[in-house]
């Protein structure tokens, strides 16, 4: 029996950001390399060879010796969540931007996406624990759909961490506005009594 022929297609894919330190356990050489799934810019054809790398994809139509290992979700090691709590770098936690080490433009896209999804689907007056599980899953799924590269992280933990940070900020602001409104009303009643 002969194997079905495989066709190899070469595509230009932007290089992933350079990691200064590993955030997962185990030696880096034991992990198989996975091509970046980040969305390409419309002007990606003008990139230099330094900014992009050639990645081959196989669609099962041309002959291949079978020496190239086929990667599935089961044998690809995902990037583990670091120890500690997000947003608490001075108390044993970590800063999200430092851990995922994306370039500034990708981080800006990611944060604006999370901010938009939180504003559209979640109650900004409540913390992460006070949110509906259904709504949290909706935000998570939409973020992963928009940025598929998040799939390289174990349980897509950057999405959860970014949502926690955003809700921590918005709920604190809501509490502060409520306290300001109460103190303003108290001041007005004091002035009226005099």
pLDDT for position 181: 80
pTM greater than the 0.75 cutoff = no
> Which of 63-67, 74-78, 138-142, 173-177 comes out lowest in average pLDDT?
63-67
186, HSE (Cβ side, Cα atoms, 13 Å):
6
pLDDT at 29 over 80: no
Give the pLDDT of residue 145.
Answer: 94
Q: What is the largest CA-CA distance in the chain?
A: 99
Residue 49 or 107, more confident: 107
Is pLDDT above 60 for 82?
yes
Q: Where in the chain are the domains?
A: 1-77, 89-194
Residue 104: name the closest of 17, 193, 37 by CA.
17
> Quick check: 92 pLDDT over 90?
no
Question: What average pLDDT does the structure give for the chain?
Answer: 72
Measured CA to CA, the distance from residue 86 to residue 22 in angstroms comes to: 17
CA neighbor of 140 nearest in space, from 154, 168, 126, 160: 160
């Amino acid at each position: 029996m002969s194997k079905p022929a495989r066709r190899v297609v070469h595509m230009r894919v932007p290089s992933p950001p350079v990691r200064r330190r590993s955030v997962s356990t185990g030696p880096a050489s034991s992990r198989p390399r996975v091509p970046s799934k980040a969305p390409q810019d419309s002007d990606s054809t003008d990139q230099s060879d330094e900014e992009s790398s050639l990645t081959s994809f196989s669609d099962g139509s041309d002959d291949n010796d079978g020496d190239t290992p086929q990667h599935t979700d089961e044998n690809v090691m995902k990037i583990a969540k670091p120890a500690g709590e997000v947003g608490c770098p001075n108390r044993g936690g970590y800063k999200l931007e430092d851990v995922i080490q994306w370039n500034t433009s990708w981080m800006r896209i990611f944060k604006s996406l999370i901010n938009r999804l939180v504003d559209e689907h979640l109650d900004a007056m409540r913390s992460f624990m006070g949110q509906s599980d259904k709504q949290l899953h909706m935000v998570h799924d939409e973020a992963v759909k928009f940025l598929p590269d998040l799939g390289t992280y174990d349980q897509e933990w950057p999405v959860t961490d970014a949502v926690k940070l955003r809700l921590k900020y918005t709920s604190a602001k809501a509490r502060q506005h409520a306290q300001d409104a109460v103190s303003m009303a108290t001041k007005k009643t004091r002035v009226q009594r005099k």
